[in-house]
Amino acid sequence: MSKIRLALVGLGKIARDQHLPAIAADDRFELVAIVSRNADLEGVAHFTTLADLLASDVAVDAVSLCTPPQPRHPLAHLALAAGKHVMLEKPPGATLSEVEDLRLTAAARGLTLQTTWHSRYAQGVAPARAWLADKAIKAVRIDWREDVRVWHPGQTWIWEAGGLGVFDPGINALSIATAILPRPFFLTGAVLHVPENCQSPIQAELDFVDAAGAPVRAEFDFLQTGPQSWDIAVETDAGVLKLSHGGAKLFIDGELLHEGPDAEYAGLYDAFARLVADAASDVDVSPLRHVADAFLLGRRVVAPAFIE
């Protein structure tokens, strides 16, 4: 099989830290172009707009979109219209309607569309899902706390409408929860703390209940300093399962059972290559749907202004 000639759209922190190493390590891909208004990559064709790339003589099979979510829909639509497979960095769009439109467009053209949830490829997630499959869930606790100044320095888009604020990392927790819990869960209430100078929350508390009535509590915090916390604890009839370090470590009743290196984006690109080979798509919006529910149902309170 010939290599998938890939264009990377957006060359910010996540693209440099995660996408570029994953692409370089997977011999099924060849990075042939970068699209960015502000950055380029030595030895790779550079364009300032996706339209310029698609009008050029650079042959491209697929596009990986690493832009903020707000402008992503027209870019993805443009790539699909040009016959290119598309990978969408999370969150896959600013709205559910945008993603549904892209799903229908990709299906109509026989192209691959992938919504990516990198945290689902953390080392402990698959074994956690397998262990929980036949357990009775009693309660779930999600604590996702990190320092926005460390992980999103200078990224003002995250505070704008559609930027998600603390739900940008929080959606990673929801992507894991929707993958490992054996029953669906539904939002019953939420509190969103929105800085007076921002449009999106900096902290959030969410209460869910699963289909059998088990409570699911999630707390997201963008103001955590010192040690960062990315933990999910599930109390069951057979003991307590805990995923820590964003899913990299799996404990059962305090005993470490699984631990592995960070291979989340390698997992994403492996899945993308297999989808392209199979002429298939993977469009899962369940984590984004929970975020949308929080914005619909959540009570907003004014928080102090955020000054980076």
Tokens 């064709």 sit on residue = 45
Residue 32: what residue type?
Answer: V
Per-residue pLDDT of the chain (308 residues; tens, 9 = 90+): 689 999 999 999 899 999 999 999 999 999 999 999 988 899 999 999 999 999 999 999 999 999 999 999 999 999 999 999 999 999 999 999 999 999 999 999 999 999 999 999 999 999 999 999 999 999 999 999 999 999 999 889 999 999 999 999 999 999 999 999 999 999 999 999 999 999 999 999 999 999 999 999 999 999 999 999 999 999 999 999 999 999 999 999 999 999 988 899 999 999 999 999 999 999 999 999 999 999 999 999 999 999 98
Assess whether 84 and 160 both reside in one domain: no
Q: How far is CA 188 from CA 178, 207, 293, 297, in A?
A: 16, 6, 9, 8
The answer to whether the beta carbons of residues 213 and 193 sit under 8 Å apart is: no
Q: Which two tokens stand for residue 73?
A: 């829909």
Q: What is the pLDDT of residue 227?
A: 92
CA dist 231 and 214 (Å) reads 18
Residue 220 lies in a domain: yes
Assess whether 211 and 108 both reside in one domain: no
**Residue 90 annotated among the catalytic residues of the structure:** yes
Q: What is the pLDDT of residue 77?
A: 96
Residue 265 lies in a domain: no
The total number of structural domains in the chain stands at 2
Q: What is the pLDDT of residue 1?
A: 66
Assess whether 184 and 127 both reside in one domain: yes
Q: Find all residues with CB under 8 Å of 156, minimum gap 6, and list them.
A: none
Q: Domain containing 220: what range?
A: 123-259+292-303
Q: Which two tokens stand for residue 28?
A: 């099924």
Q: Of 13, 84, 90, 242, which is the active-site residue? A: 90
Assess whether 54 and 130 both reside in one domain: no
CA dist 304 and 124 (Å) reads 36
Domain boundary among 115, 132, 153: 115
Assess whether 251 and 161 both reside in one domain: yes
* Burial status of residue 216 (CB atoms within 10 A of its CB: 0-12, 13-18, 19 or more): buried
Q: What is the CATH number of the domain that holds 130?
A: 3.30.360.10
Assess whether 100 and 71 both reside in one domain: yes
Q: How far is CA 237 from CA 92, 117, 208, in A?
A: 35, 29, 19
Assess whether 96 and 159 both reside in one domain: no
Residue 278 lies in a domain: no
Query: How many CB atoms are closer than 10 A to CB 111?
Result: 21
Assess whether 28 and 67 both reside in one domain: yes
Assess whether 127 and 9 both reside in one domain: no
